[in-house]
Every structure is written in structure tokens, then in C-alpha cells.
Amino acid sequence: MFEYTFQWRQAFRALPQMLDGALVTMQIAVLSMVIGVTIAVLLAVARNAHSPWLRWPATAWVEVARNTPALFQIYMAHFGLGSFGIYLSPYVALLAGITFNNAGYLCETFRGALRAIPATQVRAGRSLGMGQVMAFRLIVLPQMFRIAFLPTTNQMVWAILMTSLGVTVGMSTDLTGVTQDLNARTFRTFELFALAGALYYCIAKAVMFAARLAAWRLFRY
Amino acid sequence: MFDTALSFNDLLFLLKGAGVTLSVTAFAVVGGTVLGLLFGVLRSHVSPWAVLPLTFVLDVFRSVPLLIQLILANASQAIAGLQFSPFVTSCIVLALYTSAYCTEIVRGAIEAVPPVTRRAARSLGLTWGQDMTQIVFPMALRVGLPSWIGLTLGVMKDSALVLWLGIIELLRASQILVTRLQEPMFILLIAGAIYFALSFPIARLGGRLEKRWQEND
């Protein structure tokens, strides 16, 4: 038992490369969140719409995103679209998969937040002469983001953790991809992935901390 | 007309993969729930400082990607010379992963029971055990069960990641068929439909339970 010499130096020598990978991870997570939030707002509005032509596609998106694995969604983007002659690079496929997933989950969060905003708020806005869109933009949206802020940051952490799935479709520039690449060359699996895990932990905690700080700065009355 | 090389045996292969997915999920959820109940009761009854190490470890399970946890666990068991099969390793990792989330659900549910209710129970002469099983458990169940159902479905979806260790579960089975038949969209859609069919009814049930139980509050 334990006939294994740990070679931590080798892992630490790879740290600069892994930090570069962490930047790519953050980039994908932030992009997927920005696009995801935008789509989620549209989906939340569409799901509350009267027209079934708007309601049905939005409902389908949300239910598929929430009831199938994120890895399946990434596979769909990477392998599935190949049936139609569309070949996405691992980066784009990963981004598309995570964004699809984020939008589905965030839509439900936003819908819950929208329900918490009293209808009288919109009516007050409308009676002040605002149009429907203007009332939504100036009255409803800011309140919705305030209510949904903490769940949204949780989703951000989820998005960061989900980027690790990119390695299964051949992504080699994000944190997990870089680590797997180094692992294939050095076979120091435990050391490298332990370091990668520690980095993910630090990133997740840093994001949570930044979000708390932002919430405290933004949302005090 | 639509034409496919997918045979009945291939479909059986996919369903067998779904069986593996379900059995990994079952082991993980049972193990994780038992541990989660234990840790949750500990966390809500012992002072936060005493369980700080436990809190930290469970937090790590929630802040490190599951894929990395699986790779690390597989490497660790090889280093320790335990010779676990990938299936056992996956079940252990997923169970610990589940327990980390389950602990939070259990703790939240127990803390949702008003302290005065529990004090009333104790002052009527109930022991701590009776209080936990007859007062706290029924009340906490209503708070915690919908989230627990969500967690179970989440674990089922996350169990797709065990394919990295070489286990042929639903998604890996579909990938093998894709490699052979070269019809990625169609086969992945079948796999997705199986996941959806497993997850959607239970998710609906969870949502319905949550709504019904909230009305009684």
C-alpha cells in the first residue's frame, strides 16, 4: 500500500498554464451567463405570454434544459448538430451547451421573482404614462434582478463547474482541459487534478464573495 | 422517408445503459441520504465551531466540479491500492456528493421547524428522540421533500459524468452507437428522450407536492 511518490513540484511547475486555463474557464462562464440571462428574461416573458406560439417553445426549452444532463446538451451541440453538417468547435459547443442550460434554469428563477413583484407596481407605472415595455424595463426588471440576484450567482458558480465538462468533447484550453493535457504527458493524475480542484474551489469562493460584496453595495436602501 | 440503421438490439443496449444510470443513481441517493440525514442533524444540533471541519469538507464537494472529484477519487483508490472497480468508485463519489447537498436540505428543513414547537414538545415530556421522530420529522419532511426530489433528479443527470471512468451508462452507450452508426442526432435524441422520460414526471410530481404543501401553511 502507498507505494507512490507524490511529485507536487511537477504540478506546481504547471501552475502558470493552469491559471491561463482558469482564465478561459472564467471567460466561458461569464459569456454563458451574460447570454443566458438575456435569453432567460425573454423566456420568462414568453412563458407568461398569452399567445401559445410564444408560450410553447419557451416551455419546451425550459423543460428540456432542466430534465436532461448538461453533458447531454453539450454532446447535442458538438456531435448532434453534425447530422445537419454543422460542426461546432469544442469551445463553441461548450458555450452553447452551458448557455442553453443556464437559460433554462435562470428562466425558472426569474419567473419566481416576477411572481413576487406586485401587479400594482406595473399598474402604477402605466398610470404614470409609461408604455408596457418601458414599465417592464424600468419598474419590473430592476426589482426582478434584485430578488433573483443570489440564485443567479449560484447559477454562475454552477456555470463555472459545468465548464469542466468541455474536456469530454475535446476542449483543451480551459482549466480541466489544460490539466487533462498535462496529465496525458506526465501521468501525475492525482497531483495535477488536486491542484485543479483547489483552483476551482478558490474561483467558486471568490465569485461568491464578490457577489456578496456587490449585493451589499448595490441593494442597500 | 426516414431511414435508420438502428436495430432493436441497439435500443436494448441503450436501455441497459439507462439501467446502469439508474443503479448508480440509486446507490448514490440511498448512501447520500443516509449520510446527509446524519450530517444534517449534526449540523443543526451541534455548535457550528465543532462541526467546522465537516462543514468545510461538504463545502468542497459542492465547489469542485464532479468530474474532477471522480478523477481524483479514481486516482486515490489506485494510489492506495484498493482496487475498487470504477462502478464502486463512482457510487462512493456520487454518494458523498449527494450527501453534501442533502445535508443542506436536512439542516434547512430542521431549522424551519419553529423552536417553540419543539420546546412545547419537550415540555410535554417527550424525549429528544421522540421530539425528533414525531414532531420535527413530519414537519421537516414537508419542507425538505420537494428539494430532495430535485436533488435526486440532479444526481441522476450528473451521473452521466461517470462515463469518464469508463462505465457504459446511458450517454456513453449512445456515444458508442453514434460511433458505429454515424447518426448522432437521432441516437442522442433517443438518449435525451429516455433521460427526459425518467426525469420529467418526477420533477412534475415534486412541483405539485411543493405547491400543495405550501397551501396548507
Q: Output the tens digit of pLDDT for each of chain B's 217 residues.
A: 577 778 889 999 999 999 999 999 999 999 999 999 999 999 988 888 888 999 999 999 999 999 999 999 999 999 888 889 999 999 999 999 999 999 999 999 999 999 999 999 999 999 999 999 999 999 999 889 989 999 999 999 999 999 999 999 999 999 999 999 888 899 999 999 999 999 999 999 988 888 888 765 5
What Rg do the C-alpha atoms of chain B give, in angstroms?
21
Cell numbers at A112, concatenated: 419566481
Helical H segments across B64-183, by residue range: 66-79, 86-111, 115-123, 128-130, 137-158, 170-181
Q: Supply φ then ψ for residue A127, to 5 degrees.
A: -75, -15
> Which residues of chain B make contact with A83, given a CB cutoff of 8 A?
183-186
Q: How far apart are the first and last CA of chain B?
A: 56
**pLDDT band, very low/low/confident/very high, at A48 (cuts 50, 70, 90):** confident
Contact A191, A8 (CB under 8 A): yes
Query: From CA A165, how far away is CA A159, in angstroms rounded?
Result: 10
ipTM comes to 0.90
Which CATH architecture is the domain A10-218 placed in? Orthogonal Bundle (1.10)
Q: Supply φ then ψ for residue A14, to 5 degrees.
A: -85, 0
In our burial notation (b when 16+ CB lie closer than 10 A, e otherwise), range A17-55 reads ebeebbebbbebbeebbebbbebbbebbbbbeeeeeebe
- Amino acid code (one letter) for B207: G
**Domain limits, chain A:** 10-218
Query: From CA A124, how far away is CA A64, in angstroms rounded?
Result: 37
Report which DSSP code applies to B53.
Answer: H
CA-nearest of A203, A20, A99, A92 to B65 is: A203
pLDDT confidence of residue B82? 87
Contact A161, A27 (CB under 8 A): no
Mind listing the pLDDT tens digit for each residue in A159-169? 999 999 999 99
**pLDDT band, very low/low/confident/very high, at A83 (cuts 50, 70, 90):** confident
Query: From CA B184, how far away is CA B6, in angstroms rounded?
Result: 11
For A38-90, the DSSP string reads HHHHHHHHHHT-S-HHHHHHHHHHHHHHHHS-HHHHHHHHHTGGGGGT----H
**pLDDT band, very low/low/confident/very high, at A221 (cuts 50, 70, 90):** low
pLDDT confidence of residue A1? 56
* Residues of chain B with a CB closer than 8 angstroms to some CB in chain A: 60, 63-69, 71-72, 75-76, 79-81, 153, 157-158, 160-161, 163-164, 171, 175, 178, 183-186, 188-189, 191-192, 195-196, 199-200, 203
Nearest-5° Cα angle at A79, A74 to A80: 90
Query: Which residue segments constitute the domains of chain B, with CATH numbers given?
Result: 8-215 (1.10.3720.10)
Mean pLDDT of chain A: 92
> Which residues of chain B make contact with A72, given a CB cutoff of 8 A?
160, 171, 188, 191-192, 195
Cell numbers at A121, concatenated: 407596481
Contact A109, A148 (CB under 8 A): yes
Contact B206, B149 (CB under 8 A): yes
Nearest-5° Cα angle at B203, B200 to B209: 140
Cell numbers at B211, concatenated: 405547491
Between A12 and A39, residue with greater pLDDT: A39
Query: From CA B77, how far away is CA B85, in angstroms rounded?
Result: 9
Inter-chain touch A71–B171, beta carbons under 8 Å: yes
Nearest CA in chain A to B159: A69
Mind listing the pLDDT tens digit for each residue in A132-141? 899 999 999 9
- A109 pLDDT higher than 80: yes
Report which DSSP code applies to A165.
Answer: G
Q: Supply φ then ψ for residue B54, to 5 degrees.
A: -60, -45
- In a 13 Å sphere around the CA of A213, the CA atoms on its Cβ side amount to 6
Neighbours of B150 (CB within 10 A): 18
Query: From CA B115, how far away is CA B36, in angstroms rounded?
Result: 22
- Which of A4, A68, A83 is closest, CB to CB, to B192? A68
